[in-house]
Each structure stands twice: as structure tokens, then as C-alpha cells.
Amino acid sequence: MEEQIKKALAHYETVLRGQMKRLETIKAEGDFLDFASLPTLRIGVCGGDGIGPRITHEAARVLSRILKDEIDAGKIELVPIDGLTIENRAAAGKAIPDDVLAEIKTCPVILKGPTTTPKAGDPWPNIESANVAMRKALDLFANVRPVKVPDKGIDWRFFRENTEGGYAVGSLGSNVTPELGVDFTIATDEGCERICRLAFEYARQNGRRRVTCVTKANIIKTTDGKFLRIFYDMAKEYPELQADDWFIDIMTAKLVDEKRRTDFDVFVLPNLYGDIITDEAAEFQGGVGTAGSANIGKKYAMFEAIHGSAPRMVAEGRDRYADPCSMLRATVMLLEHIGKTGEAKRLARALDVCSFEEKKLTVTGRSDGATTAEFADYVMSRL
């Protein structure tokens, strides 16, 4: 037993040293990039593959319309980046080919279509997910997901920490003995501070009223306790906002409580809880494939559809009927992130009118519905 404990301690030391190195990297990042300080903001438009190029093209067309004055003045540039196709990635044998990643890194903001991740039985090599690779390469520490159901009074925004918690070293647990397994959860001051700051700043800049922290700090006292303490310390800097906290178990119940759920507004959560509760929340608006999503870091931000690349639709010639709403919702988040809150509200309102109110056109994914381009035109007519 003593020998087994020594081996476990040696493994634990390796994990700790790796996390200390990661912490130093976070400290060296500095502040969030100030987009206003850039002579030209480059927005990379990565079509991805499958239906990705089709829906991303329409989202970029809408974005060009909304930002026309800034684009004409040279303050914003939309940069096409076409190298994220599965064919190109497979040929390079990498999740993101080196030249494509270098091009992406010249764009602080990225609008990204879905990409194919090979699975068993596919004709492609077993390369890593392009999404995962991009999050690592650009340190996109925050996963941000909106959930909106107007007729139920739901308008939530979730800020999920993307690099720490139970997922930080999820593959580095230790079987100390055949009967005893140990995993780790990680929290750093810097990691907690940057996700909480993002949530509070979003609430302030977008006229939100309340920020709710979700933990299990009564049981997971060290790491969740750190997250909660930092949340309340930071809340003092935002006196105009209501700050409160709930435990993850009761929060999952309150989201289905019709009397209470409309009271919530902005949420901030550690990684594991955020993963669970955003899937639950998305069910209210039709499932996890119905919304856009953002992955945000201090120097880069990537906005994407959260559904797959639908290669079957392409094979059947139906990609021209793909629904662009997820990419258009991601575009709303992109506009918010670069400080174009008025433009974001205009686009969000147009989407609500087209999707929930007038519904003069419906995208079904087949020829009995509108084409991708027709729906984008419909949205632009309501801007």
C-alpha cells in the first residue's frame, strides 16, 4: 500500500506542476483586447464544411449589411478563411492545418461554421475536433450560450468556465489501488476572476439586471468556495446589478419552475455545472441545436453554430435549404462582443419576428421550406 501511495503522490505532483504552469500562462495574458484600439478589426469568416459554408455565407452577408458603414470606412474587415474543410484537415493530418491556424490568429474575432469531427467508420483519419483544437490554441476560456423563449418569458445568458473545474484534468485521475480511484477539480483565482468579469461586464453593457452564480460551495468547499468568494468580491464593483447565488441541484429544479424561472437573467458557473445546466436550459427552446454559441478568451473570440455539419444534407443536395438561424444567433453574440449592442438588438429582434411572430417563411431543411438565402433575405427585410 505504501508503494501505491507513493506512485499516486508522484502522479499528483505532476498534475500540480502542470496546473501551476498553466496558471503562469494565464497571468501573462494581461487584459482583454480593446477592439476600439485596433485601426481595423479583422473578423475571420470560417465556413467549415458540410452545410457550414452555406449558413456561414448567409450570416456573413447579414453581418456585412449591418456593419456596412464600418466596413466601407475600413474600420472592420471580413476575412474569408476557407481551410477548415474536412478534406483539407485530413490531408494535413491535423485538426487545424498550420497555415489556417496562422491565418485565424490574425483575426481577433471569428465567425465559424460547423466542422466535421471524424468518427469510427468514417473515411477520414482520426483527427481531433477543430473546435477543441481552436479553444486550446486561442485559450477560449468562456463558453457563452443564450437561451430565449419569448412566449415563456425566458431570456437567459449562461457564462460557463471552459478550462477549469472538473474538466481541467479530467483524464488525469489516478487509480491509487484497484479499489480506490481519485479525480481532481481545479480552480484558480485568475480562472474564476476572468469568467466572473465577463459575466458582470456583459450584464452591465447590455442592460441586464441580475447575475446569478451557480456552485455547490456548501459541499465542494475549496474550489467551488473560491469561485463563489471571487464572484461576490467582484459583485461589489457592479452595485447597479443584483448578485445572488444558488446551488446546482436546486437550480436545475428552479429552471423548470414556471413561477421562478423568469426571474433569472445572467448565470455564471464552473465548467461541469455549466455543461449540465445549459443542456437542460436549451431544451426549453427546442434542444441543443437551436442556438448560437460563443467561445471567448482575452485575445480572441469565436462565435459558432452548436449543431453539426450535416454531411447527409449535402450528399442529398439539401444544403441550400439549411436553417441559418443558429449562425445568425451567433452573429448577434458577435455584435454584442465587439460593442455593437444596438446592432445586436436589431438583429435579435428581426430574428424573433421572423422565427416566432410573423413566420412568413419557414426553413424545414427540404424543398417544402425556404432556402437558406431566402430566410436570410427575410431577416434583413426586418432589420
Question: Would you state the pLDDT for residue 289?
Answer: 54
Question: Would you state the pLDDT for residue 167?
Answer: 75
Question: Would you state the pLDDT for residue 120?
Answer: 67
Other residues' Cβ atoms within 10 Å of the Cβ of residue 353 = 17
Contacts of 309 by beta carbon, 8 Å cutoff, 6+ apart = 48, 49, 50, 51, 52, 86, 113, 114, 115, 116
| Strand-pair category, 292-296 with 174-177 | unpaired
Let me know: does 54 contact 88? Beta carbons within 8 Å. Answer: no
Question: Would you state the pLDDT for residue 290?
Answer: 61
Per-residue pLDDT of the chain (383 residues; tens, 9 = 90+): 889 999 999 998 999 999 999 899 888 888 888 988 999 999 999 999 999 999 999 999 999 999 999 999 999 999 999 899 989 999 999 989 999 999 999 999 999 999 988 776 677 777 877 887 888 889 899 999 999 888 899 999 999 998 888 877 777 888 999 999 999 899 999 999 999 999 999 999 889 999 999 999 999 999 999 999 999 999 999 999 999 999 999 999 999 999 999 999 999 999 999 989 988 998 888 765 566 789 999 999 999 987 888 888 999 999 999 999 989 999 999 998 998 989 999 999 999 899 888 999 989 899 999 999 999 999 999 99
Question: Would you state the pLDDT for residue 209?
Answer: 96
Half-sphere exposure of 98 (CA within 13 A, CB side): 0
Contacts of 233 by beta carbon, 8 Å cutoff, 6+ apart = none
Rg for the chain, CA atoms, rounded:
22
Let me know: does 319 contact 54? Beta carbons within 8 Å. Answer: yes
Nearest to 343 by CA among 377, 380, 374, 372: 380
Question: Would you state the pLDDT for residue 154?
Answer: 94
Q: In angstroms, rounded to a whole number, what is the distance separating the alpha carbons of residues 336 and 343?
A: 8
156 beta partners: 147
Each domain of the chain, given as residue ranges in start order, spans 31-140+297-381
Q: Which amino acid is at 12?
A: Y
Half-sphere exposure of 153 (CA within 13 A, CB side): 10
CATH 3.40.718.10 applies to domain 31-140+297-381: yes
